[in-house]
Amino acid sequence: MQISAEQPAMSKSKETTSIPSRDRCPLARGLESMAPLVRSVEETPDPIPTTITGRIPSWVNGSFLRNGPGKFEFGKDRYTHWFDGMAMMHRFHISDGDVTYSSRFLRSDSYIHNSEKNRIVVSEFGTVAMPDPCKNIFARFFSRFQIPKATDNASVNFVKYKGDYYVSTETNYMRRVDPQSLETKEKVDWTQYIAVNSATAHPHYSRDGATYNMGNSYGKGGFFYNIIRVPPPDETAAKADSPDFAGAEVICSIPAAEPRKPSYYHSFVMSENYIVFIEQPIKLDLLKFMLYRIQGKSFHKVMIWEPKYDTIFHLVNRHTGKVSKVRYRAAPMFTLHQINAYEDNGFLVMDMCCGDDGDSIGDFTLENLRKGSGEEMDKFYNSLCRNLPRRYVLPLTVDQKTPLDQNLVTLNSFKATATMTKPGEVYMTHEELHDDELLQYGGLEFPQINYEKHNGRPYRYFYSCGFGNVFSDSLLKMDVHTKELKVWRYPGLYPSEPVFVASPQATDEDDGVVMSVIITPREEKSTFLLVLDAKTFTELGRAEVPVNVPYGTHGVFNEMG
C-alpha cells in the first residue's frame, strides 16, 4: 500500500527546552581507555573448551551467537569508524552445563578482496577505499566518479528467515551462515527479490513464522520507506540447502516527508496488529550522498541531526498494509532500538530507548574509541548522548468526533499524553520509563525482552546494558511497572548485549537465564560467558575462555544449536 507524502513539520514543542538526556546524567571522571576492546583479533575456527565457574543450568542447550567487528586494518590501511571493522562471528555452544567457544571471520566479498590486495579496496560506513595505486593517474581520477558498490560486511546481527540464519548489516546484502560451524554461505541481495535498496538488521518475527523488516527504495518517484514481509517456510516443500525468499513482498511504501533528506532508521516497532515506522530527524543528505565519492567523504559524513523537525510516527496495519490517515508527531528525538510495543484498550503502547542528540553515530570513530584513560576519554564520553527508556502511547481510535486539545490517553497511571491539535493530527509527549537511579549508570541501550512469549504483548521486564563508559559497563533489569532496577556491575568488566533464555518449565515472565559475553581491557585473554538468574539477576555461573574478543554488536540464542 502506498500513501501520499506529507509536509515535514517544524518542531514547536516545549519538550525541546527540557533538560537533554545527556545533561541529566552525572559527568564521568577517570574513565579507562577502551583501546584494547577495538583491536584486531585472531579467529578460533575449531571449538575450544572453557573453564566453568559456578553452575550453568543443564536445561540450557544451544548456541549463543554473537556478531561484531573484529579486524580493523589490512596492510598499512586502517579503518576510520568502529562500524567498518570486518565482521567476526562468535559461538558459545552450551550443552549439559559445558561450554565450548569458536569464532570465524565472515568470508564476505569485502573481506576476501581486502585480504587478496592486502589493503582496503571496499568502502565501508566511515572509510572510503582509495583508488588502486597501481592504476595510472587518469584511471585513479575517474575512479572517484564511480559510485561504490554496497558492502556485504554484515557485522551487525544474526537474523532468521524461513528457518535459516543470516548475518546482516544495513545494506542490500546479507550472508547465509551455518550457525554451528559458522561457515559463510551464499550472498543474498535483497534487490533480487523485492524492490528495496537496503534492509535493517533488526527484523521482527510473528507467531505464525513470518518475518517483517524495513527497507528503503528511491527513484524518480521519490524516497520510500518500505515494510517487508517474508512468509513462513512451506512445511510441505522439500527443504533445499539454499536461500529461500519465495513470497517476499513489500506490503506498504511510505514516502519520505522530505524526499531529498530522508531519515536514518535502525529498527522499527511491531505489535500483534500494527507496525510503526519512526521517521526521526536524523537526515541523510542525498545530494551529498551522490557526491560523497568525489568529495572523498564517507557515509557517516552525510548524516545530519536536524532537531528543527518533529518526529513522525507512521502507523500501519501489518495484516493489510493500510497506513493510518492520522499523523502522529512528537518532539525531536533519536532512537536506535525499541524495547516492546503492545495494544491496550484502543491504545498502542510503545517503549523504546531514546536520546536528544542524533549526532552521536558519527562520533564512534576508532580514534575516539582509542582515546587514553582519564581526561581524554572523559571529554569524549561526556560529549555523547545518553539514551533513556521512554514510553509513547498512540491512540488507535482517532476520528472526526475526537475532541481537540485534551489528553486522549485514558490508561490508568500512564503519564504519556496524546492530544489532537487539529483534525487528523495528534501530538504525543512521552513518559520517562525509569527513576533517577538509572542516571548513575549512564542511561541504557541494547534492550532485550522475553521475546518469544511477550513481543507485541503486555510485558513487565526488559534487560539491557548500562553505559557508564563509551562501551557498556553494567547489565540492567528494569521492571516497567515499578521502574525498579536490578544491576550487575563490576569495575573493569564490560558486558555485551544481554539475551534472555526462558526455562522449559517457565511460569513467570522472568523464569530463565540472561547471558552476556564479558570482556576487559585490563587483562589479556580474559573473556567469559556470564549466565545470570533472570529473576534474581545474580550470577549462576561463567565459562572462561582464553581469547581476546573485541566489543561487539548484537546476538541471538539458537536453541537448535
Span 396-411, average pLDDT? 95
Average pLDDT of every residue of the chain? 92
pLDDT of residue 139: 44
pLDDT of residue 329: 98
Is 337 labeled as ligand-binding?
Answer: yes
Span 548-556, average pLDDT? 97
pLDDT band at 293 (very low <50, low <70, confident <90, very high): low
pLDDT band at 221 (very low <50, low <70, confident <90, very high): confident
Lowest-confidence pick of 5-19, 208-222, 292-306, 426-440: 5-19
Report d(CA 539, CA 515) in Å as an integer.
Answer: 10
Report d(CA 5, CA 216) in Å as an integer.
Answer: 15
pLDDT of residue 2: 44
pLDDT of residue 228: 98
Burial environment of residue 490 by CB neighbours within 10 A (0 to 12, 13 to 18, 19 or more): exposed
Question: Global pTM?
Answer: 0.93
Q: Is the pLDDT of residue 235 over 90?
A: no
pLDDT band at 13 (very low <50, low <70, confident <90, very high): very low
Cell of 239: 527443504
pLDDT of residue 520: 97
Share of the chain above pLDDT 70, in %: 91
C-alpha to C-alpha distances, 472 to 29, 379, 424, 445, 497, nearest whole angstrom: 16, 17, 41, 8, 9
109-165: per-residue pLDDT in tens? Answer: 999 999 999 999 999 988 988 765 555 444 444 444 455 678 999 999 999 999 999
pLDDT of residue 291: 74
pLDDT of residue 147: 54
pLDDT of residue 14: 41
C-alpha to C-alpha distances, 120 to 84, 156, 276, nearest whole angstrom: 11, 20, 38
Task: Find the angle CA(33)-CA(38)-CA(42) to the nearest 5 degrees.
Answer: 135
pLDDT of residue 131: 63
pLDDT band at 10 (very low <50, low <70, confident <90, very high): low
pLDDT of residue 300: 66
By the 8 A CB rule, do 314 and 348 touch?
Answer: no
Span 490-511, average pLDDT? 97
267-289: per-residue pLDDT in tens? Answer: 999 999 999 999 999 998 877 77
Is 204 labeled as ligand-binding?
Answer: no
Is 430 labeled as ligand-binding?
Answer: no
pLDDT of residue 3: 45
pLDDT of residue 5: 45
Burial environment of residue 213 by CB neighbours within 10 A (0 to 12, 13 to 18, 19 or more): buried
C-alpha to C-alpha distances, 249 to 192, 239, 245, 406, 485, nearest whole angstrom: 12, 21, 9, 40, 41
pLDDT of residue 132: 59
C-alpha to C-alpha distances, 211 to 16, 160, 164, 208, 422, nearest whole angstrom: 36, 8, 12, 9, 36
pLDDT of residue 130: 75
Length of the chain measured in residues = 561
Q: Is the pLDDT of residue 260 over 90?
A: no
Q: Is the pLDDT of residue 410 over 90?
A: yes
514-546: per-residue pLDDT in tens? Answer: 999 999 999 999 999 999 999 999 999 999 999
By the 8 A CB rule, do 411 and 344 touch?
Answer: yes
201-217: per-residue pLDDT in tens? Answer: 999 999 999 999 999 99
More confident residue, 453 or 149: 453
pLDDT band at 90 (very low <50, low <70, confident <90, very high): very high
With the C-alpha atoms ordered 498, 499, 502, 507, is the resulting torsion angle positive or negative?
positive
Span 308-325, average pLDDT? 97
